[in-house]
Amino acid sequence: MEPIDQQAAEEKRSGKIEESKGNTGISRRDVLKLAGAGGLGLLLGSMGIDGLLKGTPLGSNFAEAAKDTVPFYGEHQAGIATPAQNFICFASFDLSTTSLGDVQQLFREWTGASAMMCSGRPVGDETGNSAHPPVDTGEAVGLHTSNTTITFGVGPSLFDARLGLAAKRPAELADLPAFGGDNLRSEWCGGDIGVQVCADDLQVAFHAVRNLTRIARGTAVLRWTQEGFQRTSTAAATVSDTPRNLLGFKDGTANLDTKDGALMQEFVWTQPADGPAWLAGGSYMAVRRIRMRIEVWDRSTLGDQQATFGRYRDSGAPLGGNKEMDALPLEAKGENGQPVIPMNAHVRLAHSEGKEKMLRRSFSYSSGIDRQTGQLDAGLLFVSYQRSLVKQFIPIQQRLARQDKLNEYISHVGSAVFACFPGVREGGGYIGQALFEG
């Protein structure tokens, strides 16, 4: 192994280490390397432990951290209109307190911790006291920020009698109605609080959920969690390619354009006239855990698979079309006189003539083997954001539940809805403040 000074010189010559300019830009990985080489004392002599670690990004330096950082503060919560990252860690929490003050304090602490983690920093300054637990759980030390976003929402159950918030519950915020074919399991449903953590690294995303859970101790406990993934940006031929689900078809072809402000206002962001003032600028989130009968699907013919979705598997183009983004030829008929896109095809029923659009942000999941059946427990963690559950999500899902040919191959086993807060401005505010204090 090279001596540390010789190795550092070589890294500097190769461009791996930048010159220090005012701020050290030293990563925690560098700290550990220097500590292992006996060089930590030199750094502490000139800076002190607080100057070295306080506010230091978990990435290799400040410049690198800024490249893959999504601001936590803003008009809207990040993680909704943000381009979908590679991984998700979703966590549903139940309160273990009946004190509104405790819940307020939890969201204050969550806000501060989330802002630090989304900027690549640990959740607090370490004291170095070996008799106390570390402030941060530590598994993201040395890792880049990875475009981490943390998005918070509250479920219908938060507005029961416990906290005295019943009068502030939006009329739209209620458990979804039963849909035909649902096979819901309680361990995958509901929750007082929903937290969506997305990142381009699964360990970084897990780190955020773990720290939030630790901070919540005594106030809230985990109800259920689910990790998910899509193809990574490094694996895709181009980053603009539509991801594929575990059935092999492109998923999200006709999604809303998040750069179109008018569309986002019309279909995603709640407006002041829609309900309580505390939710204006937020959104309703629907979460469905959809198990796929992969073994059955894999024995189906290509023709049947394409008729089920109403699209060609290779290109993603609608049946009767040539390109993925072609308009759906819903009126076209084949030589047999039947619609080119079958009447029970998934794409036809989900289309709704553009009247019920929503922003989808779904990820595949694989949770090992179902011990009861011996089959893969894998499928889709469907997440959507919409201005109205009643006018957008529910009508679409009712149509799909009644007629969708895809129902032969899937089963909805989990369900939850949350009202996601608007964003929070930097400088003292916290997520949910208008609800808890207004």
Quote the pLDDT of residue 233.
74
Residues 6+ apart with CB under 8 A from 131: none
Residue 22 is assigned to a structural domain of this protein: yes
Residue 166 is assigned to a structural domain of this protein: no
Identify which of 410, 87, 382 has the alpha carbon closest to the alpha carbon of residue 247: 410
Residues forming beta bridges with residue 290, ordered by sequence position: 380, 412
Cβ count within 10 A of residue 33: 17
CB 380 within 8 A of CB 245: yes
Quote the pLDDT of residue 301.
98
Report the distance separating Cα 91 and Cα 69, nearest Å: 22
Query: Which residue segment(s) compose the domain that 50 sits in?
Result: 4-56
DSSP 28: H
Q: What is the DSSP string of 80-118?
A: SSSPP-SEEEEEEEEE----HHHHHHHHHHHHHHHHHHH
Token code pair at residue 173: 């915020």
Residue 34 is assigned to a structural domain of this protein: yes
Angle 151-156-160 from CA coordinates, rounded to 5°: 125
Residue 353 is assigned to a structural domain of this protein: no
Angle between helices 28-36 and 40-53 (to 10 degrees): 160
Residue 123 is assigned to a structural domain of this protein: no
Ramachandran bin of 23, using left for φ above 0, alpha for ψ from -120 to 50, beta for the remaining angles: beta
Report the distance separating Cα 253 and Cα 248, nearest Å: 13
Q: What is the DSSP string of 216-283?
A: TTTTEEEEEEEEEE---TTTSSSTTSPPB-TTSSB--TT---TT-HHHHHHHTS--GGGS-GGGTT-E
Quote the pLDDT of residue 340.
97
Quote the pLDDT of residue 372.
85
Report the distance separating Cα 303 and Cα 316, nearest Å: 14
Residue 418 is assigned to a structural domain of this protein: no
DSSP 119: T
Residues forming beta bridges with residue 286, ordered by sequence position: 384, 417
Residue 35: helix, strand or coil by DSSP? helix
Report the distance separating Cα 360 and Cα 386, nearest Å: 9
For residue 324, CA distances in Å to 71, 143, 241, 253 come to 32, 36, 10, 7
pLDDT tens, per residue, the chain with 438 residues: 333 344 444 433 333 333 333 333 444 434 333 333 333 333 333 333 333 333 344 444 444 556 799 999 999 999 999 999 999 999 999 999 999 999 999 999 999 999 999 999 999 888 888 999 999 999 999 999 999 999 999 999 999 999 999 999 999 999 999 999 899 999 999 999 999 999 999 999 999 999 999 999 999 999 999 999 998 877 876 667 899 999 999 998 989 999 999 999 999 999 999 989 999 999 999 999 999 999 999 999 999 999 999 999 999 999 999 999 999 999 999 999 999 999 999 999 998 777 899 999 999 999 999 888 899 999 999 999 999 999 999 999 999 999 999 999 999 999 999 999 999 999 889 999 999 997
Report the distance separating Cα 334 and Cα 269, nearest Å: 41
Residue 48 is assigned to a structural domain of this protein: yes
Structure-token match 């036809």, residue found: 348
Quote the pLDDT of residue 325.
94
Token code pair at residue 190: 């509901």
Quote the pLDDT of residue 128.
87
Identify which of 394, 380, 385, 356 has the alpha carbon closest to the alpha carbon of residue 175: 394
Quote the pLDDT of residue 64.
56
- Percent composition of the chain: helix, strand, coil (DSSP 3-state, to 5): 30, 20, 50
pTM: 0.85
Residue 222 is assigned to a structural domain of this protein: no
Report the distance separating Cα 351 and Cα 347, nearest Å: 6
DSSP H helices in 273-345: 294-297, 302-309
Q: How many domains does the chain have?
A: 1
Q: Give the chain's count of helices (H) and strands (E).
A: 12, 9
CA max distance for the chain = 83
For residue 335, CA distances in Å to 50, 303, 312, 332 come to 75, 16, 18, 10
Report the distance separating Cα 66 and Cα 120, nearest Å: 9
